[in-house]
Copies of this chain bind each other. A is one copy, B any other.
Amino acid sequence: MRGVVMHAPGDVRVEQREDPRIIEPTDAIIRVTATCICGSDLWPYRGVEKLNGPTPMGHEYVGVVEEIGSEVRDVAVGDFVVGSFFASDNTCEICRAGYQSRCVHNVPIGMIGTQAERARIPLADGTLVAVPSRPGDEQIAHLLAASDVLGTGWFAAVAAEAGPGKTVAVVGDGAVGLLAVLAAAQLGAERIIAMSRHSDRQALARKFGATDIVEERGDEGVARIKELTGGLGAHSVIEAVGTQESMQQAIRCTRPGGHVGYVGVAHDVHLDGMELFFSGVHLHGGPAPVRRFLPQLVDLIVRGEIDPGAVFDLTLPLEQAAEGYRAMDERRATKVLLTV
Contacts and interface: CB of A to CB of B under 8 A. Distances in A.
Interface stretch (A91-99, A189-197, A205-213): A91-99
A232 B94 contact: yes
Contact of A280 (B99, B232, B269): B99
A266 B276 contact: yes
Interface string A260-279: 00100111111111101111
A283 B94 CA distance: 17
Contacts of A101: 256, 280
A282 B280 contact: no
B282 A284 contact: yes
Contacts of A99: 256-257, 280
A242 to B, nearest CB: 8
A197 to B, nearest CB: 24
Nearest to A99: B257
Contact of A270 (B256, B272, B278): B272
A234 to B, nearest CB: 12
A286 interface: yes
A102 interface: yes
Interface string A284-305: 1111010000000000000000
